[in-house]
Amino acid sequence: MFPLHRGRRLRTNESIRSLVRETSLSPSDFMFPMFIAEGENIKVEIPSMPGIFRRSIDLTVKEVQELFDLGIRAVNIYVKVSENLKDNTGKEAWNKDGLMQQAIRAIKAACPGMIVMPDVALDPYSIYGHDGIIEKGDVANDATNDALVKMAVSHAEAGANFVAPSDMMDGRVLRLREGLDAAGFENVGIMSYSAKYASAFYGPFRDALDSAPVDNQDIPKDKKTYQMDYANRIEAIKEALSDVEEGADMVMVKPGIAYLDIVREVKNAVNVPVTVFHVSGEYAMIKAAAERGWLDHDQIMMEQLMCIKRAGASLISTYFAKEAAILLKK
């Protein structure tokens, strides 16, 4: 009781604040999402994501080595697929010589210690921009799962440490686990996008991969039939628990800052690590505000990352990973 207990005694200066700080950040808390393009010596900045680039494999490998030297130990990779390779089956997704498979092999050859988690979803490969195969005007759950298994096994064959299904099909974690085990990849893990909401924060990401749903009156105009309703909380816990039961080694909540209540709920419910995706729209908002002088870029960046960790994240997938790691190294 006052005046015996004065909270300000533990806030007197930075030294005492650091001694009693409950949450800390390090570069190993981060995973860096990377966009990969065809060609050589290609580096194209994404207009809605300043400082983030689509890189060819050769430059991706150099960037991965820099990330590893900074203490970052995981990358989540996505590919920009040529239009002529897109169809409604997604078959390019399991081409053993496809861009994703080449990228995985190159990264693991150059930096064996980096944990590579390729994205498992069909939207980059789909002529419709959806995460699965379109049948009868909607995304076909079970047919899509069949395709995802082929995709995941091809990633494992290329050397992926984990596969990261972001599609939100029902039952896909179990199907992936069974498929990987049957192919002899029982040690390849699954980081499941368990609570992935149908969010407007993904806009810049879809610019990066040209993967937004196409405007076609015969198919869904958005992804709300498989991604979660952002009004729901209990559903997120149910999805995470289901994925763990099906064999997920990690679960993810996406987006990040606007969903920290869900992060804590999921953390309290599961007994596996929880990953949080600090998504492209959240990144772009900070960049835009900082460019206008409205916010202090580095302070806001670190505050948001710390808050995600405080909420219960074991790993944060963030486009700020490199910038934050450099700042932490200082």
What CA–CA distance (Å, rounded) separates 189 from 194? 15
What CA–CA distance (Å, rounded) separates 113 from 92? 27
Who contacts 222 (Cβ-Cβ below 8 Å, separation ≥6)?
A: 198, 213
For the question of residue 80 being annotated catalytic, the response is no
**DSSP-derived secondary structure letter, 224:** T
List beta partners, residue 76: 33, 117
List beta partners, residue 165: 120
Cα 302–chain centre separation: 19
What CA–CA distance (Å, rounded) separates 160 from 155? 6
Exposure pattern of 276-298 as b/e (b: 16+ CB <10 Å)? Answer: bbbbbbbbbebbeebeeeebeee
What CA–CA distance (Å, rounded) separates 168 from 176? 13
Task: Exactly one of 80, 254, 309, 322 is catalytic; name it.
Answer: 254
Helix axes 141-158, 172-182, angle to 10 degrees: 40
DSSP strand pairing (30-37 vs 315-318): parallel
Task: Exactly one of 80, 86, 108, 196 is catalytic; name it.
Answer: 196
Q: Quick one: which of 297, 197, 216 has its CA closest to 257?
A: 197
For the question of residue 196 being annotated catalytic, the response is yes
What CA–CA distance (Å, rounded) separates 308 from 289? 20
Q: Are 162 and 237 in contact (CB under 8 A)?
A: no
Q: Where are the beta strands (DSSP E) in 134-233?
A: 134-135, 138-139, 162-165, 189-196
User: Is 186 assigned to a binding site?
Assistant: no
DSSP strand pairing (134-135 vs 138-139): antiparallel
Q: Which residues are catalytic?
A: 196, 254
Binding-site members for Mg(2+) are: 239
Binding-site members are: 239
